[in-house]
């Protein structure tokens, strides 16, 4: 089975079981990619953007990359982003959910090419994929690769995105593939050579508990990789950064607004002339399409902030017991009918 088939969220959750192997890669887009426009601008980046050499700083590149079927395979478009991230001295380059491949394993050619890119450019890398588990199972997986091209860990998506609009629930037949896959059972922290990072995938980021647990486990930078349309929601990222004392980097496939949240800890890297905006990610990509955005993360400021974080010191865990209980809030509304008859059998149930 070929490992370079690409997939997005809507296609994935509308595909059941072994239908995941349906090829989705297509021909070259007739339109010029924004990649060439944005990549060229980054060549004038400053060599020494730091103002205090005693402060610990790291560099992060976020790649917004569309995996639509009318575009060249993602693995063929990745090298340019690796090259630019490396030229900026980035410590890590981050790609969105799903994009590396569909129903692949670490032994597939597309995976080995990704590992080689990380090794060639001596940069840590994160990418999403649909990973095979045995003969008939799969997971929505985020791979973490170090500077020598070794796959050092993975985070499996814990909250499946399954079901029709407007609720994207319940996971009805034909839209339940992710809920039938192998779900993650814990949040992970990856201790890379520059900082401990965490990863959330798409729907994970809609759960405040996911951000909190990942930060409490020690993640200073949380990467939120998405495979969908729409936008990286500023509110989720800013709230997570403020409440849990972390820097957030969000990326998306068929959407926009990939960017950073990090109170007082972020400085744009490369040519980025837009000023900060109130309650918005900064820096960020305002338009959809292949592009990247890079930033310097001041770890010294971030760690100073984490040590003094009032939403840590003034927590009341003795009052938060309901967060770990099987709450049935839906029972408060017996007069409201379910949108689908299947709802009654699927309440409070993530894994099918």
pLDDT of residue 40: 29
**Phi then psi for 169, rounded to 5 degrees?**
-170, 145
Q: 86-102 pLDDT, tens per residue? A: 999 999 999 999 999 99
Q: Out of 109-123, 131-145, 219-233, which region has the weakest mean confidence (pLDDT)?
A: 131-145
The mean of the pLDDT values for the chain is 87
Q: 174-215 pLDDT, tens per residue? A: 888 898 999 999 999 999 999 999 999 999 999 999 999 999
Tokens of 101: 């491949």
Q: 129-174 pLDDT, tens per residue? A: 999 988 889 999 999 999 999 999 999 999 998 888 899 899 999 8
pLDDT of residue 181: 92
Cβ atoms of residues 148 and 221 within 8 Å: no
* pLDDT-derived band at 46, boundaries 50, 70, 90: very low
pTM: 0.85
Contacts 24+ apart (CB under 8 A), 150-156: 150/115, 151/106, 151/111, 151/115, 152/190, 153/188, 153/190, 155/184, 155/187, 155/188, 155/198, 155/199, 155/200, 155/201, 156/182, 156/183, 156/184, 156/185
* pLDDT-derived band at 15, boundaries 50, 70, 90: very low
Look at domain 9-28+55-345 and name its CATH class.
Answer: alpha beta
Which of the two residues, 49 and 339, has the higher pLDDT score?
339
Indicate whether 23 pLDDT > 80. no
Rounded to whole angstroms, the Cα distance separating 52 from 348 reads 50
Indicate whether 10 pLDDT > 60. no
Cβ atoms of residues 189 and 210 within 8 Å: no
- Say which DSSP state 279 is in: T
Q: 283-307 pLDDT, tens per residue? A: 999 999 999 999 999 999 999 999 9
Categorise residue 279: left if φ over 0, alpha if ψ from -120 to 50, beta otherwise: left
What is the mean predicted confidence (pLDDT) over 29-50?
Answer: 34
Cα diameter, the chain: 64
Cβ atoms of residues 124 and 193 within 8 Å: yes
Cβ atoms of residues 151 and 124 within 8 Å: no
């Amino acid at each position: 089975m070929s490992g370079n088939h690409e997939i997005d969220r809507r296609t994935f959750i509308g595909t059941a079981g072994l239908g995941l192997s349906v090829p989705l890669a297509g021909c070259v887009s007739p339109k010029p990619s924004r990649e060439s426009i944005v990549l060229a601008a980054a060549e004038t980046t400053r060599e020494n953007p730091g103002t205090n050499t005693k402060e610990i700083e790291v560099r992060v590149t976020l790649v917004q990359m569309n995996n639509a079927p009318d575009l060249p395979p993602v693995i063929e478009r990745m090298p340019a982003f690796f090259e630019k991230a490396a030229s900026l001295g980035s410590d890590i380059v981050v790609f969105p959910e799903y994009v590396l491949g569909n129903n692949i394993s670490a032994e597939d050619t597309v995976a080995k090419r990704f590992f080689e890119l990380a090794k060639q450019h001596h940069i840590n890398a994160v990418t999403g994929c649909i990973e095979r588990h045995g003969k008939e199972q799969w997971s929505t997986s985020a791979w973490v690769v170090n500077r020598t091209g070794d796959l050092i860990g993975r985070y499996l998506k814990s909250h499946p995105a399954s079901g029709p609009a407007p609720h994207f629930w319940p996971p009805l037949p034909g839209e339940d593939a992710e809920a039938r896959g192998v779900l993650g059972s814990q949040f992970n922290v990856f201790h890379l050579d520059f900082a401990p990072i965490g990863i959330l995938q798409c729907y994970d980021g809609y759960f405040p508990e996911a951000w909190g647990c990942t930060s409490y486990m020690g993640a200073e930078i949380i990467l939120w990789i998405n495979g969908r349309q729409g936008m990286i929601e500023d509110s989720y990222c800013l709230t997570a950064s403020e409440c849990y004392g972390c820097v957030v980097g969000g990326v998306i496939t068929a959407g926009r607004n990939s960017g950073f949240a990090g109170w007082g800890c972020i400085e744009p890297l490369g040519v980025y002339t837009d000023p900060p905006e109130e309650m918005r990610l900064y820096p960020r990509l305002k338009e959809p399409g292949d592009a990247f955005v890079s930033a310097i993360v001041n770890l010294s400021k971030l760690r100073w902030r984490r040590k003094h974080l009032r939403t840590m010191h003034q927590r009341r865990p003795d009052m938060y017991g309901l967060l770990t209980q099987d709450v049935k809030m839906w029972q408060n509304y017996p007069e409201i009918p379910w949108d689908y008859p299947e709802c009654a059998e699927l309440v409070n149930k993530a894994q099918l």
